[in-house]
Structure 1
Amino acid sequence: MTERNLLNDPCWSAKDLGEPLPSRPHAVSVALPRWKDVIDYEEKAPSCINSLKAIYPRFGFHPFVAEVARKSLAFHGESHQSSWPYPNRASALSAQQYCHRKCSDCSSKIKDFLGISCLIVDQRSSPSAKAFWQHTGLGLSSREAAIVLGREKRPSTSDGHRARDELLNRLANIYDCHSSLIRLHRSGMAALTTILSGIYCIKGTSSTLQIGFPYVDVLKLPQIIFQGSDLIVQTKLSHIKKEIDKKNPAALIIEIPSNPLLRCIDLISVSKLAKDKNIPVIVDDTIGSSINVHLTPYADVIFSSLTKSFAGRGDILAGSSVISPYSKWKKELTEIIPKVALSTLSDSDAIELELTSRDVKDRLKRLNTSCLKLKEKLETKKEVSKILHPQHCKNFNSLLKEGGGYGCLLSFELKGGIEESKRVYDSLRVNKGPSLGTNFTLVCPYVQLAHFKELKWADSCGVSEHLLRVSVGLENEDELWSRFNSAI
């Protein structure tokens, strides 16, 4: 595959539908260049689905993983079933147990194929198997699939260990803690899955409480896979206290800042409140990045999707969990998390992640600056009705490290509503598709992708269906602005 320079030659027009972003074998995003393509993707229109050369790995099977699944069914003579490849038996068993909880007479089996544990289920249980795959992020990675298919060479175990050690040390430097408090996972959602499993061992099985409108799967994972989660979008401290008293949750889950509204709750005050109530605080720093913000004094455990700005390249699925050195549950979590973790980041993914994250601090500073400059220029456009960005959020600023910035993400709305958003999106000459944190700018109508079947609910939470989310990349700033200015 010849790599396309997405900074200068973005996938933005109709002919680019389905192109992998980036043009690499393990791309985690895919070009949906027109608003129509986004709707067709959500409605599973064959004209769109059949054009996709990539997909976000938790939302569907990467082509290599799909091939492993197909071949496992053929090998075991299970053509009328569905196969869900996992890196080990423990992960497949957890998925199987979930399917049986959802349907007690589910027909399922775990079969070995090329050293991979495949959960094979009947068609009635395929939706449950898909939900577990998507929300937990525990599935086989595309690099692991490529290796077992003989498409790529298996790296040495020692190289994998070395890469993981380097990554742990790099993250320890960012979080200012010992590397023993950090664990690598095969996705950000796998990190949260592991954290929740550990929290429930300590706190029992009551539901969690999500504060602030969140990224879709951060809410869906505890709601669907675990013991449930309540959401409160009213983030005044008095209201949060009232809800905590009423629900007595197993944990609080908070994004710093939230996706896609880029809002930040008063974490410092909520942390004090939670400590008084003996409730752990779980924080997702994927968007804000702990390169920018100091969170360990206020969070008991932090998780992050390393797929995003940490990797930057857009072709590695990975995550991390960090136990705060200041947490009252530090000892318990340090003991429990290794026991409940079902897998770790594969050797091949760790080696690539270590390589591409070497410049993460310098790169993120550039992204911080470029995003802020685009935000300031968008503010000059009379056609723009609202810009969402953390710059003037006092709660976010209270967490800033010295020299820290505001991340690579902003969202905006246009005065012309959804029809104007469609026009601007279709004519915008930047890469368009899901994900964020890539070295190339990436735009999507986020609510259409994340909440297509619940647009009215999202609107009731203050999240507009015509909002455009922008992950700013490393393009020349003047050139990037000319593209936005021209489209608007």
Structure 2
Amino acid sequence: MSQQLPLGGPVPPETDHAVSVSLPTWRANVGYEEGEKWVVGAMTSGYPRFFIHKSIQALAAEVVRRFGTPEKELAMLFPSRKTAHLCYQFMTSRLPAEEAQKVRVVNLLPPRQQHQQQQPHSNERENGSLHPNIASPLFCVLYPAAHSGVAKQVWQHTGDGISSRRSEFCMKALEDGYLTEEKSQSQRDEHMAQWPHKGPRRYQRNGSLGSIGKDSPQLHMCEIPSSKEFEQFIEERFGRNLSTLHANNAKLAVRRRIAGSLTCDGELSEALESASSDGRIAGSTEDHVFLFPSGMSSIFNTHRMLMEARGPMKSICFGFPYVDTLKILQKWGPGVQFYGHASSEELDDLEKRLESGERFLALFTEFPGNPLLKAPDLERIRNLATKYDFAVVVDESVGNFINVNVLPYSDVVVSSLTKVFSGDSNVMGGSAVFNPHGQYYEKLKTVLETEYEDNYWGEDVIFLERNSRDFVSRIERINAATEEITAQLRESPLVKDLYYPKYNPTRPFYDKCKNPKGGYGGLFSVVFQSQEQAVAFYDAFEVMKGPSLGTNFTLSSPYVILAHYGELEWANSLGVPTDLVRTSVGLEDPADLRARVEKALDAAAKVSKKP
């Protein structure tokens, strides 16, 4: 049965917080990259770091309406002072001085944090000591609308912006008067003298909050409701489903699964009952796992913390990277030495640089890489890192810890939990696992104690925990199905190149890290004899189509078009073809999926091959 979805709709369909969007034809993908109205105008969803969710757009517009100038300003929304300040720093460092002065931060705090604002801020207070990650503050960077491109770089590359579920909560809290602008004590005393306390804002307003005029003093500093009333608001908003206890328990269960101390399917109760035990390596437990609101956030903040621990130094990006990883290393810190092929020859060059005295902060790599699924030589990288004093950060989002164990070779293992760990494509998340035996662990541990913020929204983690309960069995099914599909494609004369860890020349490096019961994953890429055949195959392939991977349903995209449209020549120079079709295999019946592949191959066969 066909699964073609309408252009621009959420993937999966009828999902309010979907992390993908339907781009069902090759032409639609090109149209999206070109900004054509027939594509962009149809989009109601998108990958959250590239397409700001409608609920976040609405909240940002409301913040600007209340605290800014709608005709001239826009806003980016963040969950903490630190994440907002990083955006502020990035923007002001890149704008002309006159424009940089117009960038500002508006802090909107819930009741208890308003009363505590004269006390030193701690992570506990920042994120809501009354209801951790539920009593959410909101930190808003307002900036001239003309510089939205600069602000979007922060949103896309850091992954630290608020989630769509958090935005829905904050909108309601703002409308009901439970998020109010932080002021200095003198400003507050002056305001309170002018505006006697009359009880909670929601009981004193005339009409809706949205009807208050821009010049009203209440717009900028409304009366602060009591913490007790705010507790009632939270209970009414979420009820038992999102108690503090449930959110914290969900985080513990997720961290235990990521640590590797839980390697079988299980309900929340089983995860909570399991005592800490050695995970991926001896001595590693959930205490070494840290959660982030997205996979990119885990990479960005790991890089930031390494610079804090070791001082600013140039990094290494090894292998063809996910687009934002390279951008992080280029735009934050002293720069990057880029090796795009993940080859032995490039490691030879790196070793010569190290022998000559060059020193680096860290080497960032993916295992395996995306979209060519190459596995880097982690053993050699580890030996170089130990000898020449740099950290190793491995992104295992594609490999996943059920299939491979890369922690023994790494100082930090980062992952996008948005992908196969969740599977349902309806929540973002990220993690960083710190190797307790790593050469920088003690320094990083000290930095984590002061710099790490738990900005992962409680409602999001509850969805992630539920989604990940059958993580292990899903991986096993996906591994088996993908081996069947790739074997089928290898037999087709239409296929020029097939990229999959099992068949790549770098398989020995992959196998060195493969778990005894692990497989080769659910992601593969295929290149046909001509672009016309690639287009015909993609358009006829009756699966869901859009960005992301690791979903419970098969998801395909012309990945290079989608991720590197503005730098296709650069990607080609690194051996990544423009007309590559990347597919993430899901949980469909393998026989049914093979039939869909065969049908798409038949469509490609009807296209005459050009020289």
Q: Do they fold alike, i.e. is TM over 0.5?
A: yes
Q: Letter of the 1:161 partner, please give it.
A: N
Q: Letter of the 2:528 partner, please give it.
A: L
TM-score (norm 1): 0.94
Matches within 5 A, 1:206-355: 206-234=313-341, 235-236=343-344, 237-245=347-355, 247-355=358-466
Q: Letter of the 2:594 partner, please give it.
A: W
Contact 2:295 2:429 in 1 (8 A): yes
TM-score (norm 2): 0.76
What is residue 103 of structure 2 aligned with on the other side?
A: 108
Q: Letter of the 2:396 partner, please give it.
A: D
439-448 vs 117-126, which deviates more? 117-126
What is residue 20 of structure 2 aligned with on the other side?
A: 29
Deviation at 1:197, TM superposition (A): 1.1
299-308 vs 342-351, which deviates more? 342-351
**2:473 is the alignment partner of 1:366:** no
RMSD of aligned residue pairs (Cα, Å): 1.7
User: Among residues 162, 170, 178, which one is paired with 1:140 in the alignment?
Assistant: 162
- CA-to-partner distance for each residue in 1:198-228, whole Å, 9 max, x for gaps? 1112222122101111111111111123332
Contact 1:413 1:466 in 2 (8 A): yes
Aligned counterparts of 1:56 and 1:153: Cα–Cα separation in 2: 27
Q: Letter of the 1:11 partner, please give it.
A: Q
Aligned counterparts of 2:28 and 2:301: Cα–Cα separation in 1: 35
- CA-to-partner distance for each residue in 1:414-446, whole Å, 9 max, x for gaps? 012x22211111111111100000000000000
Contact 1:210 1:230 in 2 (8 A): yes
Q: Letter of the 1:126 partner, please give it.
A: S
Q: Letter of the 1:318 partner, please give it.
A: G
Contact 1:195 1:337 in 2 (8 A): no
Deviation at 1:194, TM superposition (A): 1.3
Point out where structure 1 has 5 or more consecutive residues left out of the alignment.
Answer: 1-7
User: Among residues 64, 68, 82, which one is paired with 1:73 in the alignment?
Assistant: 64
Contact 2:79 2:455 in 1 (8 A): no
What is residue 256 of structure 2 aligned with on the other side?
A: 169
- Secondary structure in 2 matching 1:59: coil
Deviation at 1:267, TM superposition (A): 0.5
What is residue 38 of structure 1 aligned with on the other side?
A: 29
Aligned counterparts of 1:260 and 1:368: Cα–Cα separation in 2: 17
**2:13 is the alignment partner of 1:19:** no
**2:518 is the alignment partner of 1:404:** yes
Change (3 A) 1:104 1:54: same
Aligned counterparts of 1:144 and 1:306: Cα–Cα separation in 2: 18
* Count of matched residue pairs: 477
**2:571 is the alignment partner of 1:458:** yes
Deviation at 1:138, TM superposition (A): 0.1
Contact 1:441 1:475 in 2 (8 A): yes
What is residue 468 of structure 2 aligned with on the other side?
A: 357
What is residue 189 of structure 1 aligned with on the other side?
A: 296
Deviation at 1:231, TM superposition (A): 1.3
Amino-acid identity (%): 32
Change (3 A) 1:124 1:53: closer
Contact 1:254 1:283 in 2 (8 A): yes
- CA-to-partner distance for each residue in 1:386-431, whole Å, 9 max, x for gaps? 1000014110011111100111100000012x22211111111111
Aligned counterparts of 1:69 and 1:149: Cα–Cα separation in 2: 9
Aligned counterparts of 2:50 and 2:107: Cα–Cα separation in 1: 23
- CA-to-partner distance for each residue in 1:133-170, whole Å, 9 max, x for gaps? 10000000011012223499442222111111111122
Q: Letter of the 1:46 partner, please give it.
A: K
Contact 1:257 1:288 in 2 (8 A): yes
- Secondary structure in 1 matching 2:290: strand
456-465 vs 213-222, which deviates more? 213-222
- Secondary structure in 2 matching 1:85: strand
Aligned counterparts of 1:462 and 1:43: Cα–Cα separation in 2: 24
Contact 1:194 1:337 in 2 (8 A): no
Deviation at 1:124, TM superposition (A): 4.2
- Secondary structure in 2 matching 1:193: helix
Higher Cα radius of gyration: 2
Change (3 A) 1:124 1:207: farther
Aligned counterparts of 2:389 and 2:326: Cα–Cα separation in 1: 22
Q: Letter of the 2:565 partner, please give it.
A: F
Ranges of 4+ aligned residues in structure 1 off by more than 3 Å: 112-115, 150-154, 243-247
